[in-house]
Amino acid sequence: MKIALGDLVIPGRKETSLLIEDGVIVSFDVSGAVDRAYGLNGATVLPGAVDVHAHLREPGYEYKETILRATESAAKGGITRAFAMPNLIPVPDSVKNLKAETERTERDAKIAVYPFAALTKGERGEELSDIEELSRMTLCFSDDGVCVNDLKLLEEGMKRVKAVGGIIASHAERRGAKDTRRAEFEAVEEELELVKKTGVRYHFCHLSTKESFELLKKALAEGLDVTAEVTPHHLTLNSMMIRDGNWKMNPPLRSPEDVEATREALISGLVGIIATDHAPHSIEEKARPYESAPNGILGFETLFPVVYTSLTAGGKLSLEALSEAVTAAPAKRFGIDCGKIEIGRKAELIALNVTDYRAYTAEEIAGKAKNSPYIGKVMTGFNVFTLVGEKVLYRSSEIKEA
């Protein structure tokens, strides 16, 4: 089947069309008959994003979200691959439990989903998972949502993950620290010591304090194999903006100074990856008073508009750098070969409308959950079209089939 895409912009190229044949990009010129054609209204075409931090909630928390609806929401947001965190029921801490997750993913997911296995049994931080056996199914390990505070256990986990050639994604948060800022950067400091000792590949989730970035900078100067991600919300929202449970997440929103440090870490290239920490919750849970509402907000559909509007539109972060941070860099770090628009490659494309500004609405959210602090926010850079192979995974009403 031949699919033609026209009236588009590809950063760094002068052509304005793409021809896809049997799911593969075959030409930047469209001539001759095609089976389907779409005009993209001048939208900017980029490779689909790779989100290395997502909570899909299934199995175990279907009342919050399902794999089907979450991945529909991802496709709408321009995310074509997502890494699923292991705070599920059952926790994927054994091959049997991980299979309970991957069987559902294979059945329901609209995009490619890669599972994180739990680093410790039940994410309890007491005993390591069967890392060697799990490594037949995934090389990515995390206890995200909680931090492994037992440093002896963590060191042992690092050694075993290194031995299987894996990577650990860490939610750094030390229990018992004086405040939530110290909880983050003290854990980062302790964990970096162990990374230095063991040589494991290590990735810090959602860093959000000035001190964390200073520690990361030092670690990179020492040559440690470490990366980090920042989230769209920590790049744009601060603690003074908190209104209700939909502004509650972990790490919590920080001071304007920390937000500035987070932006600077991304803009300078110190941190190369943006991940959403997409975390759906039910409407009832998020309607509770702030103190008792659960942590986490939606992120899939607002990744591009939030970052584009706050950084790219103002010229602080180029579109190329934005694309690198959401696609090429995370793909490379987590071992996936994707993220290029070139002849002979499978089509995995999204298209951003970077000219119109509009408000994000609760009604448009493709997922089941609605817990986003960005509802009502006027932004630009929304994804309008997602194509993987020959499948149109998302098409906004503004994109017409010719």
Between 208 and 383, CB nearer to Zn ion: 208
Q: Which of 23, 22, 17 is nearest to 4 (CA)?
A: 17
Q: If binding means CB under 5 A, how many residues of this protein chain bind Zn ion? A: 3
Q: Quick check: 65 binds Zn ion (CB under 5 A)?
A: no
Between 89 and 402, CB nearer to Zn ion: 89
Residue 324 one-letter amino acid: E
Between 245 and 296, CB nearer to Zn ion: 296
Report the distance separating Cα 351 and Cα 387, nearest Å.
9
Between 245 and 251, CB nearer to Zn ion: 251
Report the distance separating Cα 269 and Cα 135, nearest Å.
31
End-to-end, the C-alpha distance of the chain in Å comes to 16
| Least Cβ distance, residue 93 to Zn ion (angstroms) | 17
| Least Cβ distance, residue 145 to Zn ion (angstroms) | 6
Site string for Zn ion, 144-163 (x = CB under 5 A): x-------------------
Catalytic residues: 277
| Least Cβ distance, residue 173 to Zn ion (angstroms) | 8
Give the 3-state secondary structure of residue 75.
helix
| Least Cβ distance, residue 336 to Zn ion (angstroms) | 21
Q: Quick check: 234 binds Zn ion (CB under 5 A)?
A: no
| Least Cβ distance, residue 87 to Zn ion (angstroms) | 9
Question: How big is the CA angle at 252 (ends 246 and 253), to the nearest 5 degrees?
Answer: 80
- Cα–Cα distances in angstroms (integers) from residue 200 to residues 161, 192, 218, 381, in the given order: 7, 10, 17, 37
**Which residue's beta carbon is nearest to the bound Zn ion?**
171
Site string for Zn ion, 177-216 (x = CB under 5 A): ----------------------------x-----------
Between 76 and 206, CB nearer to Zn ion: 206
DSSP β-ladder status, 201-204 and 167-170? parallel
Longest dimension (CA), the chain: 68
DSSP β-ladder status, 140-142 and 18-21? unpaired
- Alpha helix segments (H runs only) across 222-378: 232-236, 256-267, 283-286, 303-307, 319-323, 329-333
Q: Choose one: 141-149, 151-159, 192-200, 374-382; the region binding Zn ion (CB under 5 A).
A: 141-149
Q: Quick check: 171 binds Zn ion (CB under 5 A)?
A: yes
Site string for Zn ion, 85-124 (x = CB under 5 A): ----------------------------------------
Determine phi and psi for 214, rounding to 5 degrees: -65, -40
Determine phi and psi for 294, rounding to 5 degrees: -75, 160
Q: Choose one: 38-46, 139-147, 259-267, 330-338; the region binding Zn ion (CB under 5 A).
A: 139-147
Report the distance separating Cα 79 and Cα 60, nearest Å.
23
Between 246 and 383, CB nearer to Zn ion: 246
Within 10 Å of residue 343's Cβ, how many Cβ atoms? Answer: 11
| Least Cβ distance, residue 230 to Zn ion (angstroms) | 12
Contact set with Zn ion (CB under 5 A): 144, 171, 205
